[in-house]
């Protein structure tokens, strides 16, 4: 990382820390925190690393529900990506979990460059409409909030 990038990143981390007090929530032996500051996927991962963790990997429906509740309905990066090989989705922390809950029709790699996953939601056409929280693939350079996790 160049000196200028390091300075900018250090300032960014300081600004996020000053703005967002880290309130870790505990679930099944791990700590999680949601950050509303919009960052690119790689910058969000770098920030999580500064806290001793990584972007959240999700291993079960219970953990998925917990992480989505923590993000309070906001779109948020999670640590799932197929940037290395298109269609081969891997967790950033090398977790072997095969759990996923993609939104209908996802991942679709729209435009050929959607390689990072985030928590999203769709409205199902029922009466009344129902919001369904699921995952979507997005361009990794888009900016969203994110969920970090680390071991206790």
pLDDT tens per residue, range 22-42: 889 999 999 999 999 999 999
Average pLDDT over residues 108-127: 84
What is the distance between the alpha carbons of residues 79 and 127, in angstroms, rounded to a whole number? Answer: 34
For 85-99, write each residue's pLDDT tens digit.
999 999 999 888 889
What is the distance between the alpha carbons of residues 16 and 12, in angstroms, rounded to a whole number? Answer: 6
Residue 12: band (very low, low, confident or very high) from pLDDT cuts 50, 70, 90: low
Residue 9's φ and ψ, nearest 5 degrees, are -65, -40
The pLDDT assigned to 95 comes to: 86
More confident residue, 136 or 17: 136
Distance from the Cα of residue 102 to its chain's centroid: 13
* pTM across the whole model: 0.83
Residue 18: band (very low, low, confident or very high) from pLDDT cuts 50, 70, 90: very low
DSSP bridge partners of 150? 31
Mean pLDDT score of the chain: 87
Smallest Cα–Cα separation from 145: which of 83, 66, 56, 71?
A: 71
Residue 19: band (very low, low, confident or very high) from pLDDT cuts 50, 70, 90: very low
63 in Cβ contact with 149 (< 8 Å): no
The pLDDT assigned to 6 comes to: 55
**12-16, 49-53, 95-99 — most confident range:** 49-53
Average pLDDT over residues 70-75: 92
Judged by DSSP in three states, 103 sits in coil
Kindly report the number of other CB atoms within 10 A of residue 105's CB atom: 9
Judged by DSSP in three states, 128 sits in coil
The pLDDT assigned to 21 comes to: 75
Tokens of 142: 């888009």
């Amino acid at each position: 990382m160049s000196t200028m990038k390091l300075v900018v990143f250090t300032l960014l981390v300081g600004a996020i820390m000053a703005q967002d007090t880290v309130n870790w929530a505990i679930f099944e032996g791990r700590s999680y925190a949601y950050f509303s500051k919009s960052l690119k996927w790689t910058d969000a991962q770098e920030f999580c690393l500064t806290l001793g963790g990584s972007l959240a990997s999700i291993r079960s429906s219970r953990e998925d529900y917990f992480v989505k509740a923590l993000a309070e309905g906001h779109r948020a990066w999670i640590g799932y990506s197929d940037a290395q090989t298109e269609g081969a989705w891997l967790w950033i922390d090398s977790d072997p979990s095969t759990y996923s809950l993609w939104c209908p029709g996802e991942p679709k790699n729209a435009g050929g460059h959607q390689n990072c996953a985030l928590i999203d939601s769709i409205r199902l056409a029922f009466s009344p409409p129902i919001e369904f929280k699921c995952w979507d693939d997005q361009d990794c350079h888009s900016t969203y909030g994110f969920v970090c996790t680390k071991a206790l």
